[in-house]
Structure 1
Amino acid sequence: MDALGVRQGELAVEAGVSTAILREIQQGVIARRRGARTLRALSTALGWHPEHLDAVLHRRVPPDPVPESDPAQDAVVVLLRTVVREIRGLRGQIGELTALVGERERAVEARGETTAERR
């Protein structure tokens, strides 16, 4: 990833895939069939044509890169990607909070307290 100037975690977030999947692809450790959506997402996140990695996988010449879009659209895309990253971060925090609330509820139930007794 260093040769591409991208950190693995950043690429994973940008493409919406896990870092484990990136490691598997990068190291060739687990030879499983990758979905077209995953390959398209990674290609796009790297700034390549969406079909680039699929072409490489099937030993075809990758398509030419997608032509540059206008700067106004680029700004919107950057903003949308930022919003998506923030939403994913919030989803993770909500998941953590949900787990903590569940642990607290189980602890209270284990002590036999009711909601009314805690007030």
Structure 2
Amino acid sequence: MTEAAEASGEGWDSVAEAIRNRMAETRMTQLDIASRARLSLTTVRELQHNLNPRRRRPQTLAAVSEALGWPPDYLATVLRGDRPTPHADEAGDPILQAIDHLGLEIRELRDRVEQIERQLAPEDATP
């Protein structure tokens, strides 16, 4: 992801979603994360809900990642649009593997539908 895309808020939605999902999985609160990461509650709230997308210090994302039980670079990887290395307990989870497989199939189907739509578009156009 480019720095412009990062600054404009693209990628921060993914970071917020990752944080929300992990909080639900671990049943952690914003206060738990803020305390473990030694950050303000406002910072955690902004990240969780993508309230103020802006460049953050790498240490901030690393602290939140670690507070959530992830490797330090996890959220930075999500922000860049890359696929983060799963945490050890996630790597062998058959349910997560099945979800990843379904996601891949959905993306492939979406690509096929878009290709078909592009092929049919000239036929539907009125002169």
TM-score by length of 1: 0.51
Larger CA Rg, structure 1 vs 2: 1
Measure, in 2, the Cα distance between the counterparts of 1:10 and 1:18.
11
- Which of 73, 77, 80 is 1:51 aligned to? 73
Q: Distance in 2 between matches of 1:32 and 1:55?
A: 16
Partner of 1:80: none
1:3 and 2:24 equivalent?
yes
Q: What residue number does 2:15 align with?
A: none
Deviates more, 1:34-43 or 1:57-66: 57-66
How far residue 31 of structure 1 moved from its aligned partner, in angstroms, is 1.3
Which ranges in structure 2 are unaligned for 5 or more consecutive residues?
1-19, 90-127
Q: Match for 2:39: what amino acid?
A: V
Give the structure, 1 or 2, with the largest relative contact order (CA under 8 Å, sep 6 or more).
2
**Unaligned regions of 5+ residues in structure 1, if any?**
68-119
Describe the SS at the equivalent of 2:86: coil
Paired with 2:73 and 2:83, the residues of 1 have a C-alpha distance of: 10
**% same residue:** 36
Report the counterpart of residue 93 of structure 1 in structure 2.
none
Change (3 A) 1:54 1:34: same
